[in-house]
Structure 1
């Protein structure tokens, strides 16, 4: 069963996201195409005017895929990228261990689904789904943990720098924990075999993640792009040089932020130089001090000449931060649409003028699909309690209170009593005014006290009545904890593995079928075999 709820009615998405989807006038100037009725034909036309480095891109991808088992759908898509009639749809995410969160899979499946839909709409073109791996991210605290079976499992490693370059040492312990959590689910053994090959037979996290994502999604033709690549970064040298020597992006993005921040909280602030210096075990900011460029927290220092020489010899050592990463992606890919979460959309809205300055086409921005998977036991509880899907998105206490008020025989809402107090104090205020106008303030103060006392009684009545519904309130709390772990959206906490262990590849097929690539609706999907 599928149900849909507008994002704005879930209570889990901020104003920027809902305004973006609604195309509100205060946010509409910051992106090029409608996120709910996008003009893909216009995006393709704009992209065709840009000189995408297709041959270099394909050469880099073929090299990345050399060690992987060939998959015809992927090989065909990589070859198709040489043709000017082929475009990409891209999503991006860091190489979280074990893929991190459920929405990792959702983003990729949405990218795949959109490409299929576009091919049906524009059969004269080809559309290739791309997962751009944010392998240079250094946030190991975020990327090194997963939530499984009600527990947070953390990879204890002392390695530093880009997570993609880290060696997957010490993950044997986590693999044992994962195996225990998955138990004897029908597809647990095949999943564990895949995970062991992923993390015990690859030299670093980015090659391991490439292997895992290819194994899971290669049959759909998904192409994985690892941007930590000298040949690919060489294609971005003009922008990197401009950033190092002129700091162009700082002024342009700050100008956008002045306008955007009038209405919304800023997602990412630009620095004077929006590049890191990257080596194994280290990713540090580059700063300019006078006529020298320094790598923070290291003894590395460059003159203009030595910095340019380093850049020409080792472009892979220069890593764009969030301000420059998106334009790097759009420079090397023939991309027409980018699928991202709310946080990603927020920082992309800062970048349109930067793209215009460098004459790089700005893609269609689409909010990633959000899904809630409802297992059979939870659906049965909902039916028994009479709780609708929309009601699920309320806070636990609101659901409990609404349930008790709906099913009690007592009058818990003291509307008549509030009205009676207001009526009484209206009379008293009139009398106070006729006796001494200064008494009106005292009377108003007493009115507030009386209403507050009634409110306290109302709260105590409800609390007492809840005790009569102890079983039902306990069921409601269990339901919410199951579907909204730690008070969060399921997709932002849970990992895909329990569902995959239960259903195998069919799980991904079913989610793919449920996805609507261009939508302003949250999806609720019943998951009968996932208990």
Structure 2
């Protein structure tokens, strides 16, 4: 196995906002609290500990609720030990969140959880007097079923066709037996394929709802690490948010605070999320719809449900579980109930978290350290052999397809296609002509400049024609290079955003996860290329 690293700008697949954040550009420093380096965690610990000392009941409610969520889960001792540790004032969490994608969805699901697991280990070494618990927050209340109903195995979509509404965590797993049959045909027959099938069966065929199935699957993959999986669709946990939910309904604080930040947002960056006036949904089985304030009433869109101000506050007190935060408020919910130090997420998540600091300040909740999850490209043995045979460099693989063609053509061409020397020589000659014009008749300067542009353009045209001719000559080689690039970057996107972990597990088994845990360093803010060459 070989490990290479690239900067995020060199990988060419991340936004300028994230690149600038990782470089600690001054313009962004007001948008976050502390940068993710090991030293900054000491102050974060002290601040979060002080916050939680003011609300001691929070740890008790958290532990009781999560222990209840772990009823009937086998082989969970490491996770149960970590849940119990959350009672202690010296225990803190490192958290990531993810949708309930079918069979984990994209490969980066693993990278997110491995990032929090490995960061907890690094923090325990650096700060041995404290405990650090890895958390996976399941997005059980999301209602965008179309985003989670499939995964890709070696480029082929495996889809769960189902009529769905409401929070996805409450969806029945009915119909997934048929999905497994289709998936099984693609997997073939091997020991690792059998393990994948067993993972799928245990999670989806032995549990009645998607939230439980996802918990079981994530637990099977990371139970050795004591991963604690939290479902926010929980009455007791939401009871800890009553004051914040009331503030949202009456004062619209999140809207005003986030809008103020967006008004001052640097023009170089895209605004990731725009807040609504009320950033809460109303949630029941098969129903999750926005709450809006219209004509003096609180209405649930697409329904006949309506409340006066007094009525909705009574509803909130009696049924806090019916109020579901959206993308603006969910981070506050998470950070209110967890003694959390750091949130680990992808580039898109980091972008909307950077909008939220002032809102957190208004609610007197400590803003977490924001850490980009690990990102990686896995190169299989077979792909590695092809790369070696083509004499490609790792950096070559990250070029745009036309850039790769041109670089390889220039590299392999038997003639020198780079006319830079000739252009420079031509420009030197015209410098002499400009000097002559200056001494004789300055009115000729325009004619000389036009002739210079014409001749430079002629050289450039010749260079392009020669390059095109050499590409035709090297066509077979360039096609093979293009094919390997397309395998590693399906749909011109990062592998981690397209393929499911099973695409690699079928060849490497559980060793895949061990390799990733051994080689992904959460505080090394570079892109990893993991070559499985042995």
TM-score for both structures, normalised by structure 2? 0.93
Which is further off, 444-453 or 458-467?
A: 444-453
- Quote the Cα distance in structure 2 between the aligned partners of 1:169 and 1:182: 22
- 1:37-436 to structure 2, matched below 5 A, reads 37-50=38-51, 51=55, 53-419=58-424, 422=427
Counterpart secondary structure, 1:232: helix
| Residue 477 (structure 1) aligns with | 482
Q: In the TM superposition, what is the alpha-carbon distance from 1:15 to its structure 2 partner?
A: 1.3
| Residue 31 (structure 2) aligns with | 30
- Quote the Cα distance in structure 2 between the aligned partners of 1:185 and 1:478: 27
Instruction: Call closer, same or farther: CA 1:452–1:284 in 2, change over 3 Å.
Output: farther
- 1:479-498 to structure 2, matched below 5 A, reads 479-498=484-503
Q: In the TM superposition, what is the alpha-carbon distance from 1:177 to its structure 2 partner?
A: 2.8
- Quote the Cα distance in structure 2 between the aligned partners of 1:498 and 1:231: 39
Q: Is the 8 A contact 2:38 2:123 kept in 1?
A: no
Q: In the TM superposition, what is the alpha-carbon distance from 1:235 to its structure 2 partner?
A: 0.8
Which is further off, 56-65 or 154-163?
A: 154-163
- Quote the Cα distance in structure 2 between the aligned partners of 1:456 and 1:186: 58
Counterpart secondary structure, 1:322: coil
Deviations 1:283-337 (A, max 9, x none): 2111111320111121111101211121122211111111111110011111111
| Residue 17 (structure 2) aligns with | 16
- Quote the Cα distance in structure 2 between the aligned partners of 1:528 and 1:189: 24
Which is further off, 365-374 or 503-512?
A: 503-512
| Residue 521 (structure 1) aligns with | 526
Q: In the TM superposition, what is the alpha-carbon distance from 1:381 to its structure 2 partner?
A: 2.3
Counterpart secondary structure, 2:189: coil
Deviations 1:230-266 (A, max 9, x none): 1111110100011001101111111122223344211
Deviations 1:437-467 (A, max 9, x none): 4x76676556545544443332221121122
TM-score for both structures, normalised by structure 1? 0.94
Deviations 1:140-176 (A, max 9, x none): 2221121222223332222123222222233334322
Instruction: Call closer, same or farther: CA 1:36–1:260 in 2, change over 3 Å.
Output: farther
- Quote the Cα distance in structure 2 between the aligned partners of 1:452 and 1:281: 65
Which is further off, 329-338 or 248-257?
A: 248-257
**Number of residue-to-residue matches in the alignment:** 528
Q: In the TM superposition, what is the alpha-carbon distance from 1:282 to its structure 2 partner?
A: 2.3
- Quote the Cα distance in structure 1 between the aligned partners of 2:227 and 2:46: 23
Counterpart secondary structure, 2:26: coil
| Residue 500 (structure 1) aligns with | 505
- 1:438-449 to structure 2, matched below 5 A, reads 444=449, 447-448=452-453
| Residue 458 (structure 1) aligns with | 463
Q: Is the 8 A contact 1:31 1:365 kept in 2?
A: yes
Q: Is the 8 A contact 1:20 1:35 kept in 2?
A: no
Counterpart secondary structure, 1:27: helix
Q: Is the 8 A contact 1:91 1:340 kept in 2?
A: yes
Q: Is the 8 A contact 1:38 1:364 kept in 2?
A: no
Q: In the TM superposition, what is the alpha-carbon distance from 1:426 to its structure 2 partner?
A: 6.2
Q: Is the 8 A contact 1:26 1:263 kept in 2?
A: no
Counterpart secondary structure, 1:228: coil
Question: Structure 2 stretches of 5 or more lacking a match?
Answer: none
- Quote the Cα distance in structure 1 between the aligned partners of 2:166 and 2:437: 73
- Quote the Cα distance in structure 1 between the aligned partners of 2:197 and 2:140: 23
- Quote the Cα distance in structure 2 between the aligned partners of 1:281 and 1:316: 14
- Quote the Cα distance in structure 1 between the aligned partners of 2:446 and 2:179: 66
Question: Structure 1 stretches of 5 or more lacking a match?
Answer: none
Q: Is the 8 A contact 1:36 1:519 kept in 2?
A: no
Deviations 1:347-404 (A, max 9, x none): 1111111111111111111110001111112222222222221222112222222122
